[in-house]
Structure formats: structure tokens, C-alpha cells
Amino acid sequence: MADLARELGVSMTTISRALSDHHSIGPAMKQKVLKLAKKYNYQPNRLASALRKGKSQLLGIVVPYIEGRFFPSVVHGIESAASKAGYNVIICQSNEDVAQERRNLDILLSAQVAGVLVSLSRTTRDFRHFEKVRSRGLPLVFFDRVVEGENVNAVVLDDQEGGYVSTRHLLQQGCHRIAHLAGPQHLNIYKNRRQGYLDALREAGLPEDESLIIYTEMAQDQGAEALRQLMALPNPPDGVFAAGDYSALGAMQEAHRLGLQVPQDVAITGFSNETFTTITEPPITTIDQRCEEMGQAAVRLLLELIEADGRPFAPRHIALRPELLVRGSSARTEGALPSPVRDPAAKFAGNVTG
Amino acid sequence: MADLARELGVSMTTISRALSDHHSIGPAMKQKVLKLAKKYNYQPNRLASALRKGKSQLLGIVVPYIEGRFFPSVVHGIESAASKAGYNVIICQSNEDVAQERRNLDILLSAQVAGVLVSLSRTTRDFRHFEKVRSRGLPLVFFDRVVEGENVNAVVLDDQEGGYVSTRHLLQQGCHRIAHLAGPQHLNIYKNRRQGYLDALREAGLPEDESLIIYTEMAQDQGAEALRQLMALPNPPDGVFAAGDYSALGAMQEAHRLGLQVPQDVAITGFSNETFTTITEPPITTIDQRCEEMGQAAVRLLLELIEADGRPFAPRHIALRPELLVRGSSARTEGALPSPVRDPAAKFAGNVTG
DNA sequence: TTGTATGCGTTATCAC
DNA sequence: GTGATAACGCATACAA
């Protein structure tokens, strides 16, 4: 910058202002400066700028890990939205460990990020480290795995709605006895999916039957075992809403083993839109969790907080509407397959990376 | 820091040195400073430090996107390795667009990263923007999609070896006529996989038969179509090495449709260890690409470059050994299933995130 | 519209 | 072993 100033015979102030498009600089001067900057291949030093302004163009992300289907997609959404707004992201993994989560936050603080996006580690029970973030006045948004309470900014999927639309769909397909493969109820997502299921039953005037709800850890083999158990009932179900795709898969495989037709004898739906749900026979009806939208929504909220710049801001809780993807495992009626097959794998089927 | 200095009645220099564990500070003083720092909840400002030192603790990553199975896993490996070495990563997506790739590099440069890890966009034909990086003396390592030539640091999977071990495995399983579902040959990975296939055939004294090599874009339906074509030959194959898991899947499904037994009538192997390969019936033999190891190796190499600090460094080209995962789609002999089933999905089957 | 002077928080240099 | 001082590159309050 000093070089440019010398060469143009002006002060560094002018250069600085021209480069940051300050209003008090004439267009002629701006052109000259920009031209010379290009010629000299000038690269602004964002560190220095951030140090001086006390605000960087960096957002911090803390996720449990970057694997599987969910988090990478959310991160994808976050990076895209952030980048569009002129921010970059620095990403940390907690590996499901509170201690690491704490360390990650410290690092992000000392990196002077402009805001933080967090999805909680599974082992986080104590939330004091987030108080530290807030006491610095640093904008903070949770996504997916959020701190409970009204006093936080958060973006989540409306799991209850997901359970509701899945179950209602099964009812519409002519199912009269609908079972539920439930997940660990101490986790909100599974509790809410179950609640949505119950809501739909109640709305349809069907009784709540605990023998139709099987609690598992959502693994494939547990789904199979659960289906076996259900089909051994005196009055077996004709529809199954599984709170996860893996247990839905296990259930479907077991149904086939028992000689049952899916969806005719038993209709099955899952949850999460895992890649494999489109390649089974039949493909599995599921709920898309709008991973990317979640990332984008989280960034939008965070940017609002950043712009608010410390001024009072009523915390917001955003619940995204889940999308039901009707596929063969549950489509018993004509015209049950109107929704586009949003194939999570389509994009990568011919992936040059292998 | 100034506060600490005042409170302890020493200079900021001393504080700085104590905090960075400088040798010229007595242990007593160090203790005092550290204690007070903890009490005041002192957070170092890495921006200021980096500005002064001219080196940040940040590594830049440029990937085409953060989706699918491959890149997230590599990024996972990168972040883990970097974090262990005291570095954090700032991540950028090129969206398969050279222009964006260029912009990403500019941003990383101006963020004063200590080094850059790049996997090329598919549209990158001109590599001048990387010259800019090197002219700044900034360490640069490519992974997976790399710039050709001996003068770059790069980490890749040994695809040729992958093709070779897959084909040899099929031979060992008693296959005598082995077909290959090849990918676009202008892409190195597919060219190399095909070459490995040919190497294994030659080694076994089998003729190279172009009618047994089907070129596709590696999509599922193309795999099915290819298998139909192959089985219609006067002398159909008894083994198929597909250069990708999706085409392997399509081929296997088509084989079943034709009433063929897999692997008895035709053995099939894929490439990439996609999540779904373990849940098909039978599960699909495939090649694990060691995504995480790739990330870790790339970081190790980058750190070496950083430590070299501009001193001459002979560029290194690291090729990771692929791992053959033998599963039911190709296991025709007793004892063909010794390798552990490294299930890419196992970790997430009961994922609380849904 | 432009320039001067100062400071962001940290560390390297040199002197003591 | 410790301290004073300058400097990293940029942005702003204030003056002109």
C-alpha cells in the first residue's frame, strides 16, 4: 500500500479509502489506484484489516464431525451462504467430546471470528463455555443439536412435523394399523418424531397402542428384529413409520425374508433421505432433512445477529419444514408418487473422484 | 496483556515471553503469569500474533464441493491432522468452477494462511493461479485431483494398483473371462484403473479383449446396460471389474434380472467403498480409497513444506495403496472373505442426528 | 477531497 | 533475566 501511495504521490489514507470504495474519493483517483493495485498484484492483508477493525470476515463452525450424510451437507450449505456474503468459514470438529468443543470455541474466539455456528457434541451437558462466547458479545447460532431454551438462536428440522406427515401419508395409503420404530427418547429428534406420529394417529381417531411402538438404537439389524416382533403380534401392523432410514431398511429386508410384499402387505417409511434409500428394491419413502437449507438458514440468522452488532435482538428459533419423499416402499395407491425423486446420490453417481 | 503487566508490575515483554514459554523467563514468573492469565480469562489474539509474525496457524483448503462420500472424508482427515498439529483450517468450495477456484486462492492468500491444500476443479485447465501461490513462497499440496507433472507436491490414490488387485482377486476366485466397466478415459483415475486391469490380465497370460471393456459415465443404469451387452456376447464374461460402485450396482441388479447368480455365474467388484455397498444382497466387493489417510498424508506433506520454510524441497508425489474389501459379490471360494468388513456406514447407522 | 497521526495486540530487536 | 521500543498492514478521528 505504501508503494502505491508513493508511486501515485498521494497518502496511504487515500489508497486505503480508494480500495475500500470510500465515498470521499473521486472516481478518477479510484480508477488510478485500482489499476495500479492490479498491476502490482496487490493483496490486501485481511489479518491487519481485521485487527484494526476488531472484526474479521471469518465465521467459526463447530460440528461433532464431518462424516456421514448430514453434517457435510449442512457445512456445504453454510460455506456457500457465507461465501456469498463475503465471509469465510473456519471449521472445527468436536469429535463428540465436550472438552474438545470447549477448546474449539477458545480457538475460534482467539481467531477473532465474527460469529459462531455450533452443533452440539453428544456429550455436552454443561453449557457454560457458550456463556463465555455470549459474554464477549459474539453472535452465536446453534443448528440441529441445539441448547434447549428460549434464550438461544437456533435452526432445527421440525421433526414432529416429519413424524406427522409420514404417518398421515401411511394413513392416506390405506394403512389402518401403523407401527413406529422409535429412537432413544432422551434425544429430542426421536422424541419429536414419535410425537408427530402420535399426533397423526390421534387426528385420525386411531388408538395409541404401545405394543406398536418399538424402541431401538436405530441400527439396521434392530429394524429387522423389530419387524419380526411386530409381525408376530396377534394383530400385526400394515404400515411402519421408522424414525431412521437404517431401521427402515432392516425392517424392509426382514419383511421380504418373511415373504411379505412391500408396500402391499406392509408399507414402510424412513427418515433422513440417506443415499441408499433410492437404490433399494423398492426404494424407500423417507423424509428429507433439508441439510443445505439448514446451513443457509443458520448463516442468515447469524448474519442478522452480526449486523445487529450487539443491539438487543430477540432470540429466534427456526424450524424447517421437512419434505416427504414418497417412494415405492409406501406407495400403495395410484398417484401416490407425485413428488420428484430427490435422489441424494444423483449428483455423484458419475463422480470423477471415484 | 497490558493489564497483566500492570498487575504484576512487569513489562509486556515479560508477559508475552512467559505466555509463549520463552526460555529466558524464570519458572516462578511463568507460573505467576499463567495463573493471572487464567484468572483474567486472557485470550490471545491470534490475528495480532499472525500479523506480527507474518505467519498464521491457518491452513487453506480448496475442494470442488463438500458433498458425497469422498471429499467430506478427506476434509475430515485434514481437519483432524491439522488440529493435532496446532493448525486450523479454512475451507473453500470451487463448485467445479475455475474462476471460483481462483477467487478462493486469492482469499486464502489475503487471509495469510500458512499453506494451501487443493483438489482441482473439473474445469481447471490453466494453472497460472497456482504459480501465484508458489511465487509467494506459500506451501502448496494437491490431493486426489492434482496438477500433472513432477514439479508439484501431491497425494493421490494408486488407482492403477486398485484396478490390478481387483482384477487379480477375480482371477483368484476362478474367473477366466473378466470384463471391465471403464470410465471416461480422459480422467486419470479411470485411465489408471483400466491400466491396472490390463496389467493383471497380462500377468495372468490372458488376452486383452476390447469387446470386454465397456466405456460409460459410471452411472447405475449404464452399468445395467453394460452388463446386458456383455451377457449377450457369444462368449460372456464370468467376472466384472467396474471402475465405480454405482455401475457395479447397476450391473449386479441387471444380473439378477437376467436370472444370474452373483457371484457364482458372474462375480462383480466395484470401486470407492460407497456406503451402499454393504447393504446390497450380496454386498459388493470394492476398493476403499482411504479418504482420511489421504487427508492426513496431505497435511503431513504440507507441514513438512511449512517447516522447510522456503528452503529447497524436492517435490513429492505420494500414492496411497488402495485396500481391497472382499465381500459377497465376488467371493466364490472358501476363505475369500478374510478382510474385515470396513463398513463406511457403521458409524452412522444409529446417528442421533437422524 | 485529501493528509497526519495514532492505535489495533502481539512479538523481535536491541540494550541493560 | 528483563525492559523499552519499533514494527507488522491497515483504518479511522481529526485536521486541513
Reported as a single tens digit per residue, the pLDDT across B59-73 is 999 999 999 899 999
Cis amide bond preceding B27, omega within 30: no
Q: Between vectors from CA A268 to CA A267 and to CA A270, what angle results, nearest 5°?
A: 160
For residue A350, pLDDT beyond 60:
no
CATH class of A2-44: mainly alpha
pLDDT of residue A122: 84
List residues with CB under 7 Å of strand C. Answer: A 9-14, 17, 23-26, 29, 48, 51-52, 54; B 1-2, 12-13, 16, 19-20, 43-45, 48-49, 51-53
For residue B7, pLDDT beyond 80:
yes
CB contact, 8 Å: B218 with chain A? yes
Distance CA A177, CA A235 (A): 9
Instruction: Mean pLDDT check: name the lowest of A197-206, A243-252, B4-13, B249-258.
Output: B4-13
Does residue B239 come out as left (phi exceeding 0), alpha (psi in the -120 to 50 range) or beta? beta
Burial environment of residue A28 by CB neighbours within 10 A (0 to 12, 13 to 18, 19 or more) = exposed
Q: Smallest Cβ distance to B72: which of A43, A66, A144?
A: A66
pLDDT of residue A336: 77
Percent of chain B at pLDDT exceeding 70: 95
Mean pLDDT across B69-98: 97
pLDDT band at A196 (very low <50, low <70, confident <90, very high): very high
Radius of gyration of chain A (CA): 26
pLDDT of residue B350: 43
Q: Which residues contact B207 (CB under 8 A, 6 or more apart)?
A: B201
Percent of chain B at pLDDT exceeding 90: 82
Most confident range (mean pLDDT) of A31-35, A123-127, B79-83 is B79-83
CB contact, 8 Å: A78 with chain B? no
Domain boundaries, chain A: 2-44, 57-156+291-320, 159-289+324-332
pLDDT of residue A344: 54
Rounded to an integer, what is the distance from CA B217 to the centroid of its chain? 21
CB contact, 8 Å: A349 with chain B? yes
Mean pLDDT across B322-330: 96
Domains A57-156+291-320 and A159-289+324-332 share a fold: yes
Mean pLDDT across B291-301: 98
Query: In 3D, which of A294, A57, A345, A76 has the Cα closest to residue B63?
Result: A76
pLDDT band at A125 (very low <50, low <70, confident <90, very high): confident
User: Is the pLDDT higher at A317 or at B338?
Assistant: A317
pLDDT of residue A351: 47
pLDDT of residue A191: 95
Distance CA B327, CA B334 (A): 12
pLDDT of residue B351: 47
- Mean pLDDT over the full length of chain B: 93
For residue A345, pLDDT beyond 90:
no
CATH class of A159-289+324-332: alpha beta
Distance CA B18, CA B24 (A): 9
CB contact, 8 Å: B111 with chain A? yes
Please report which helix (H) or strand (E) contains residue A214, including its range: strand A213-215
For residue B345, pLDDT beyond 60:
no
pLDDT of residue B186: 84
Distance CA A126, CA A134 (A): 15
Chain A residue with Cα closest to B185: A352
List of chain A residues whose C-beta atoms are within 8 Å of the C-beta of residue B253? 281
Are the CB atoms for A169 and A324 separated by under 8 Å? Answer: yes
CB within 8 Å: B112 and A47: yes
Q: In this structure, what C-alpha cell is assigned to residue B202?
A: 497380462
Are the CB atoms for A60 and A115 separated by under 8 Å? Answer: yes
* D5 C1' closest Cα residue: B13
pLDDT of residue B346: 52
For A14, A44, A51, the CA distances from A17, given in Å and listed in that order, are 5, 13, 17
Q: 3-state SS of chain B?
A: CHHHHHHHCCCHHHHHHHHCCCCCCCHHHHHHHHHHHHHCCCCCCHHHHHHHHCCCCEEEEEECCCCCCHHHHHHHHHHHHHHHCCCEEEEEECCCCHHHHHHHHHHHHHCCCCEEEECCCCCCCCCHHHHHHHHCCCCEEEECCCCCCCCCCEEEECHHHHHHHHHHHHHHCCCCCEEEEECCCCCHHHHHHHHHHHHHHHHCCCCCCHHHEEECCCCHHHHHHHHHHHHCCCCCCCEEEECCHHHHHHHHHHHHHCCCCCCCCCEEECCCCCHHHHCCCCCCEEEECCHHHHHHHHHHHHHHHHHHCCCCCCCCEEEECCEEECCCCCCCCCCCCCCCCCCCCHHHCCCCCC
According to CATH, what is the number of the domain A57-156+291-320? 3.40.50.2300
CA of A312 to C1' of D12 (A): 26
CB contact, 8 Å: B83 with chain A? yes
Reported as a single tens digit per residue, the pLDDT across B251-271 is 999 999 999 999 999 999 999
Q: Which residues contact B76 (CB under 8 A, 6 or more apart)?
A: A65, A66, A67, A93, B291, B292, B295
Distance CA B88, CA B106 (A): 18
Mean pLDDT across B135-146: 94
Q: Which nucleotides of C are covered by protein (CB under 7 A)?
A: 1-5, 7-13
Contacting B residues, span 28-47, partner chain A, CB-CB under 8 Å: 41, 43-47
> Where does chain A have alpha helices with state H?
2-8, 12-19, 27-39, 46-53, 70-84, 98-110, 128-135, 159-172, 188-203, 220-231, 245-257, 291-308
- Mean pLDDT over the full length of chain A: 93
pLDDT band at B352 (very low <50, low <70, confident <90, very high): very low
For A22, A24, A97, A157, B111, the CA distances from A33, given in Å and listed in that order, are 12, 14, 50, 48, 22
Mean pLDDT across A152-172: 97
Q: Smallest Cβ distance to B349: which of A41, A79, A246?
A: A246
DSSP 8-state code for residue A158: -
User: Is the pLDDT higher at A80 or at A125?
Assistant: A80
List of chain B residues whose C-beta atoms are within 8 Å of the C-beta of residue A183? 350, 352
For residue A343, pLDDT beyond 60:
no
For residue B200, pLDDT beyond 80:
yes
pLDDT of residue A80: 98
Mean pLDDT across A90-104: 96
CA of A260 to C1' of D3 (A): 84
For residue A207, pLDDT beyond 90:
yes
Are the CB atoms for B69 and B344 separated by under 8 Å? Answer: yes
